[in-house]
Chain A
Amino acid sequence: MKLCMSLILLVFVLFVVSLLVGPAELRVEDSIAGLFAGGSEAAAIIMREIRLPRALLGLAIGMSLGLSGAVLQGFLRNPLAEPGVIGVSSMAALGAVLVFYSGLAGSSLYALPAGALIGALLAILVLLAIAARQGSTLTLILAGVALSSLAGALTALVLNLSPNPFASYEIIFWLLGSLKDRSMEHVALALPLMAAGWFLIALSARAIDALSLGEEAASSLGISMSLTRFLIVAGVALCVGAATAVTGTIGFIGLVIPHLIRPLTNRMPSSLLLPAGLGGAALLLAADIAARIVLPAGELNVGVLTALIGAPFFLWLVVRARREML
């Protein structure tokens, strides 16, 4: 509880800082006035239409990615499981790119989550079929590597084939996500889907605790494996699909956060879920603030920053896992 309270406080502080950072250099009092009561017209528009959706998306998407990482690590009993590493995010991006740039749905934003959810769902089902049964850490990761490189290559191909020459510039966005210039439309599009995903994952909490004792023990405790699998597959697909649809691929949050937070919990997979969600929100908000501050002109893609933090962490986990095996 104490852990959750301090994480909520951290997320709140970062959310407020995120609202105060931006190229328009509004003063703090103008920003607050713009957000709540009138203020100047420009400040109100900047706060409500540009910075608020950005901060909301940072919070919700960080939460979704942290939560997805925690539940996948518990369910697959694999410390390296994470939507980005195992290729779920890249497949979601590919799905979104295929449906959107082909113009199947006109130029409607609704095409994005539809494609991304299908992509994420396919990826999880393929991974479960290949890797879940024998539970080898390595098989899952290798299958994920294959999926992500295939999805990344196909994403680049589809964007290059678009008759619109500007489409190929958007490869960077899909491979290294960004929260730049999102609007309330994106929030309305993604938030309900992500909330549904959070709900499904929360329903699986008891089951993943039981699963930590092994599948047979879980069954004898009255846990339905098929129901648990459905909850987690659908929950993660909703979270990662909706998140990727509006911000592109943001990696490593679901990997780093559960590992950082697990030592602070009682190590039951279910008690990790909420803190991991909050931790993910804090990490993405912080990374997105840094992405706006680091370069004075323009801004970085936030996926670059999460990869800079996450990739060395991943390597360290691999080294540690090897040492434990020896």
Chain B
Amino acid sequence: MPKRRKCLPCLSGLALLAGALLVAPVSAAPKRVMSLNLCTDQLAMTLAGPDQLVSVSFLAREPGLSMLHEEARSYPANHGLAEEVFLENPDLVVTGTYSLHNTTALLKRLGFHVEEFSFAQTLETIPGEVRRMGALIGQEKRAQAIADDFTRELETIAAGQCGKDPTMIAYDQNGIASGRGTLADSVMQAAGFANLAADMGVIGVAPFPLEQVIAAHPDVISIGAPQKAPTLGEFVTRHPAIGALPDTRIGAFVPEASLSCGIPSVIEAVRALAALRTEIAPCHGNAAQ
């Protein structure tokens, strides 16, 4: 098997190279970081030092998608194009695995250091992703502090709940519900709600028939706030049948855009839902123990 033997040195070479790449960000923090993805935009803005971030994607400025849309206005915007990256020539490019496969592949071929962040995001993945971003851009201490605060606050919120979990569904445009494995699901659970869609076997974000929402009669139906530009899909969440449910709370209970990305600010959504839960199922004296 001469072929295999020939390959051994090149394999070990690859391993060396990989090792060098892994070590590199720790030894020298990149001075010019560029983010091409809505979620990495927000992680990077949370952690980066002054002037470290060259540009973020244009989506980061959208109030309906980005929690940090105001901060994003102080950075130049990119449209995730390889040309833009080439002109800026950053030390590090951060992006999502879900978006822009072709751009990512092209940038890697051109020799840019590209780091991808997974699209699968829940509350559990946030501290790890924060630390990873911190390590990549040389802000380990800040990242560790933010991740610790985040975990601590989640524990505090969990400790403040008592009684049976009220049921809830996150119902969105066109009758779409968030099931198991979604950020919304983990936020609902952390705030002490039973996610109706997950309990009925929905995995990921999937259509959920309006009739079944009515039949299941959840305690809370969380819908999106109305957008400026109208769509017909919004009328599904405002269907008279939902309004006719007695004793069900319906409304936009989480801050706008707070469920679109796994970033530390998602804690605001958990806080908002936890407050709602306390209102629905308050702890009376000894019930708390």
Listed in ascending order, the chain A residues whose CB lies under 8 Å from chain B are: 22-24, 26, 41-42, 45-46, 49-51, 100-101, 103, 106-107, 109, 162-164, 166-167, 169-170, 173, 181, 183-185, 298
Query: A35 → chain B, closest Cβ, in Å?
Result: 14
> Which of B215, B226, B228, B234 touches A24 (beta carbons < 8 Å)?
B215
B residues less than 8 Å from A22 (CB atoms)? 209, 211
User: Are B230 and A46 touching (Cβ within 8 A)?
Assistant: no
| Residue B244, interface by CB 8 Å | yes
With A49-B241, A169-B174, A170-B232 given, name 20 new contacts (CB 8 A): A22-B209, A24-B209, A24-B212, A41-B245, A42-B217, A45-B241, A45-B244, A49-B239, A50-B214, A50-B239, A101-B231, A103-B228, A103-B229, A109-B235, A164-B231, A166-B173, A166-B234, A169-B233, A170-B231, A181-B175
> Which of B215, B239, B244 touches A181 (beta carbons < 8 Å)?
B239
| Residue B210, interface by CB 8 Å | yes
- Pairs A–B under 8 Å by Cβ, sample size 12: A24-B211, A24-B214, A24-B215, A42-B215, A45-B214, A46-B211, A46-B214, A49-B241, A107-B230, A164-B228, A166-B234, A181-B175
Listed in ascending order, the chain B residues whose CB lies under 8 Å from chain A are: 173-175, 207, 209-212, 214-215, 217, 226-236, 239-241, 244-246
Query: A26 → chain B, closest Cβ, in Å?
Result: 8
User: Are A41 and B246 touching (Cβ within 8 A)?
Assistant: yes
Query: B246 → chain A, closest Cβ, in Å?
Result: 7
User: Are B233 and A166 touching (Cβ within 8 A)?
Assistant: yes
* Contact status of A164 and B214, CB under 8 A, knowing A107-B234, A109-B235, A173-B232: no
B residues less than 8 Å from A26 (CB atoms)? 215
Query: A273 → chain B, closest Cβ, in Å?
Result: 32
* Measured CA separation A183–B235 after assembly (Å): 9
User: Are A170 and B240 touching (Cβ within 8 A)?
Assistant: no
Query: A113 → chain B, closest Cβ, in Å?
Result: 13
* Measured CA separation A109–B234 after assembly (Å): 11
* Contact status of A46 and B215, CB under 8 A, knowing A106-B230, A163-B228, A169-B233: yes
User: Are A45 and B212 touching (Cβ within 8 A)?
Assistant: no
Nearest 3 pairs between A and B by C-beta?
A107-B230, A49-B241, A24-B211
User: Are B230 and A164 touching (Cβ within 8 A)?
Assistant: yes
A residues less than 8 Å from B235 (CB atoms)? 109, 181, 183
User: Are A181 and B210 touching (Cβ within 8 A)?
Assistant: yes
User: Are B214 and A42 touching (Cβ within 8 A)?
Assistant: yes
User: Are A183 and B240 touching (Cβ within 8 A)?
Assistant: yes
* Measured CA separation A24–B212 after assembly (Å): 5
A residues less than 8 Å from B246 (CB atoms)? 41
> Which of A24, A100, A166, A183 touches B239 (beta carbons < 8 Å)?
A183
* Measured CA separation A134–B244 after assembly (Å): 55
User: Are A166 and B245 touching (Cβ within 8 A)?
Assistant: no
B residues less than 8 Å from A163 (CB atoms)? 228-229
B residues less than 8 Å from A24 (CB atoms)? 209, 211-212, 214-215
A residues less than 8 Å from B212 (CB atoms)? 23-24
User: Are B207 and A298 touching (Cβ within 8 A)?
Assistant: yes
> Which of B174, B210, B230, B233 touches A100 (beta carbons < 8 Å)?
B230
B residues less than 8 Å from A103 (CB atoms)? 228-230
> Which of B173, B211, B228 touches A23 (beta carbons < 8 Å)?
B211
* Measured CA separation A109–B244 after assembly (Å): 19
* Contact status of A49 and B215, CB under 8 A, knowing A103-B230, A169-B233: no
User: Are B229 and A167 touching (Cβ within 8 A)?
Assistant: yes
* Measured CA separation A24–B175 after assembly (Å): 14
* Measured CA separation A298–B211 after assembly (Å): 12
User: Are A184 and B230 touching (Cβ within 8 A)?
Assistant: no
* Measured CA separation A183–B239 after assembly (Å): 7
User: Are A23 and B233 touching (Cβ within 8 A)?
Assistant: no
Query: B185 → chain A, closest Cβ, in Å?
Result: 19
Nearest residue, chain A, Cβ from B230:
A107
* Contact status of A184 and B240, CB under 8 A, knowing A23-B209, A23-B212: yes
Query: B37 → chain A, closest Cβ, in Å?
Result: 15
Nearest residue, chain B, Cβ from A108:
B230
User: Are A185 and B240 touching (Cβ within 8 A)?
Assistant: yes
Nearest residue, chain A, Cβ from B232:
A170
* Measured CA separation A167–B235 after assembly (Å): 12
Query: A24 → chain B, closest Cβ, in Å?
Result: 4
User: Are B244 and A101 touching (Cβ within 8 A)?
Assistant: no
User: Are A101 and B211 touching (Cβ within 8 A)?
Assistant: no
Query: A77 → chain B, closest Cβ, in Å?
Result: 38
A residues less than 8 Å from B217 (CB atoms)? 41-42
Nearest residue, chain B, Cβ from A111:
B230
> Which of A50, A106, A164, A185 touches B210 (beta carbons < 8 Å)?
A50
Query: A307 → chain B, closest Cβ, in Å?
Result: 21
Query: B256 → chain A, closest Cβ, in Å?
Result: 13
> Which of A42, A100, A181 touches B236 (beta carbons < 8 Å)?
A181
A residues less than 8 Å from B174 (CB atoms)? 166, 169
Nearest residue, chain A, Cβ from B234:
A107
* Measured CA separation A227–B173 after assembly (Å): 45
* Contact status of A166 and B231, CB under 8 A, knowing A24-B215, A50-B211: yes
Query: B172 → chain A, closest Cβ, in Å?
Result: 9
B residues less than 8 Å from A45 (CB atoms)? 214, 241, 244-245
A residues less than 8 Å from B231 (CB atoms)? 101, 162, 164, 166-167, 170
